[in-house]
Structure 1
Amino acid sequence: MKYTPGIVLELAALMSSCSHENKQTAERSSVRLESVAMSAPPPMQADEPDKAEMIGPALPTPTAAVVAPARRLIYHADLRVKVDNLPQASRRLDSLVQRNGGYLSAAREIREDDEWRQAMTIRVLPSRFRAIMSALGSLGTVEEKRITTDDVTAQHADISARLATKRVVEQRYIALLARAKKISEVLEVEGKIGEVREEIESTESRLKTLNDEVAYSTISLVCYQALAQPVPDAPIVSFSSRLVESFYTGWTLITSLLIGVVTIWPFLLLGGFALWGVKRWRSRLA
């Protein structure tokens, strides 16, 4: 496969530039805060008194305000609440979520023998996260509560930088494609463009997911109501039933004794022989 020297040099330079930019992207993964100060004017020379007089007295050098980067935090909570009346608590929950500008992203209801519960996933703005967590606790008795906070500022900056780098690489490949003259060169560059665009789409998807998790906090809530188990009533026993039961109990006792006697027949036989031997021994002594 032959390429023109210009295309070959462009491809080599572009691949080297991609490697260098990826290395720079890794170094930019941690967000740093740097103060920026405006440079002071150069000092006046001793042989220029006229310019100094024209300029006038020196003014204080302005300093740029230091702006801290916005922190990107992901809030997540797991909450389990026992309520007395699940339908009533569910209605209160819907109203509570609407007042706080949130929404239910998932819900499931399960009714078993001893428990009736609803499992829900609530998405709410981070500014209303604490308020809605406090309100959810008023639905009933909080049995389990867990809150986690993830700082993804550095991760977000790294993904954004990688995305910008890949887009620059894509534009360079497009420019290189416009200068390709042979079909083999066009196919080679188009293959590279396809790879870069696939990486761009994957990075954009990761960044979109991260932005969604930052924009809306997630609360996994389980509300349940304990269900009382029915206790069967004691049966009413009539006199005839009790009489039949007593007869059956007596008959069972007799048969049990008879079976017991049959079971110990070896001992009865040995006892009879022992008694016969004692009587015979006494008769001889007499």
Structure 2
Amino acid sequence: MKLKLLFIAIIAFTVLFSCNLKHENEQGYADMQVTYATPQVRDESGSAFKENVTSNNSVSEEDKPESFLIKNNLPVDKKKIIRDGSISIKSNNIFSSKKSIDDLIRKLNAYYETEELQNNEQIIAYNLKIRIPAVNFEKLISAIETGQDEISNKSIQARDVTEEYVDIISRLSNKRQYLKRYKELLAKAGSVKEILSIEENIRTLEEEIESKEGHLKFLNDQISYSTLLINLYAKREFVYKPLPKDKFSENVKKSLSNGWSSVVNFVLWLISTWPFIILILILLFIGKWVLKKNKKMN
């Protein structure tokens, strides 16, 4: 009976030991998977330190979109609208009209990005590209429309880029957070391989952040300053101008020159056709000889 109880105890101990070993193997395999997915570095005390860059989604006050806008002097309005347009103006006094536009530009804190002048016998025109603060865009349009000149064409556009703007800010905030976490990992990296891998990720993130910041500043410039293309023109009246006549002596010179040119051209033509001339002469000689022979026979 004692042997039977001892045998049962040994079997139970073996089963419990096997289950415990299986549990430890599964746990070790899970740890190996986590270690493979996440870079492992060691802190100063030598203990293992694991950190997943994407595991923490909290954003500090410094990396919030609003803080980024304020830091870079960007507007924090809800709607981000890009306004631009073009106007064609027919003027009776183009120089007076141009002076009026110059005065408006100074008054509304705008500036000419490009200014071109076209002046010919049919038309005189200014092609102007104006950058103006968005808050003054409507004022400039209104001042031009209420002027004395005739508006021959007008086109105004408004593009809502709010979604694109917010998306860039959100991506910038996330990338800055990831960059911060990678720098923390870099400080705790324990091998050259880990350092090189993390530095490559940091370099990629910094390039992406720089690109996004450039795009954001471009959008902000387009939002803050509107663009207006102005074609200011005035048609010139048609004035008949008779062609000047040459003097008699000039006509004589031209006639002599033309005559000599004709002689030269004729000589050159003869030279270029000499084979045909020789052939014609031979045919004439043969024809004349045949006629003489026929006369003698008759």
- Whether the 8 Å contact between 1:81 and 1:139 is mirrored in structure 2 is no
Which of these residues, 81, 87, 112, is aligned with residue 95 of structure 2?
87
Equivalent residue, structure 2, for 1:13: 52
Shift of 1:13: 2.4
Equivalent residue, structure 2, for 1:215: 224
Identity fraction in percent: 28
Which of these residues, 142, 150, 158, is aligned with residue 141 of structure 1?
150
Which of these residues, 131, 137, 140, is aligned with residue 129 of structure 1?
137
1:164 aligns with 2:198: no
Distance in 2 separating the partners of 1:97 and 1:215 = 16
Equivalent residue, structure 2, for 1:173: 182
Structure 1 unmatched runs, 5+: 22-27, 29-67, 237-286
Report the number of matched residues. 187
- Whether the 8 Å contact between 1:10 and 1:176 is mirrored in structure 2 is no
Which of these residues, 48, 73, 83, is aligned with residue 81 of structure 2?
73
For residue 231 of structure 1, give the secondary structure of its aligned residue in structure 2.
Answer: coil
Structure 2 unmatched runs, 5+: 1-35, 43-47, 59-64, 66-75, 246-298
1:169 counterpart letter in structure 2: Y
Distance in 2 separating the partners of 1:17 and 1:225 = 67
Shift of 1:233: 4.2
1:200 aligns with 2:209: yes
Question: TM-score, structure 1 length as denominator?
Answer: 0.58
RMSD: 3.1
Distance in 2 separating the partners of 1:149 and 1:10 = 52
Shift of 1:149: 0.8
Distance in 2 separating the partners of 1:102 and 1:233 = 46
Equivalent residue, structure 1, for 2:30: none
- Whether the 8 Å contact between 2:129 and 2:228 is mirrored in structure 1 is yes
For residue 13 of structure 1, give the secondary structure of its aligned residue in structure 2.
Answer: coil
1:224 aligns with 2:233: yes
Equivalent residue, structure 1, for 2:113: 105
Alignment CA distance shift 1:215-1:5 (3 Å): closer
Distance in 1 separating the partners of 2:50 and 2:241 = 85
Distance in 1 separating the partners of 2:169 and 2:131 = 24
For residue 164 of structure 2, give the secondary structure of its aligned residue in structure 1.
Answer: helix
Equivalent residue, structure 1, for 2:197: 188
Alignment CA distance shift 1:185-1:5 (3 Å): closer
2:52 counterpart letter in structure 1: A
Distance in 2 separating the partners of 1:195 and 1:80 = 47
Alignment CA distance shift 1:198-1:232 (3 Å): same
Shift of 1:141: 1.2
Distance in 2 separating the partners of 1:6 and 1:234 = 92
Distance in 1 separating the partners of 2:236 and 2:179 = 62
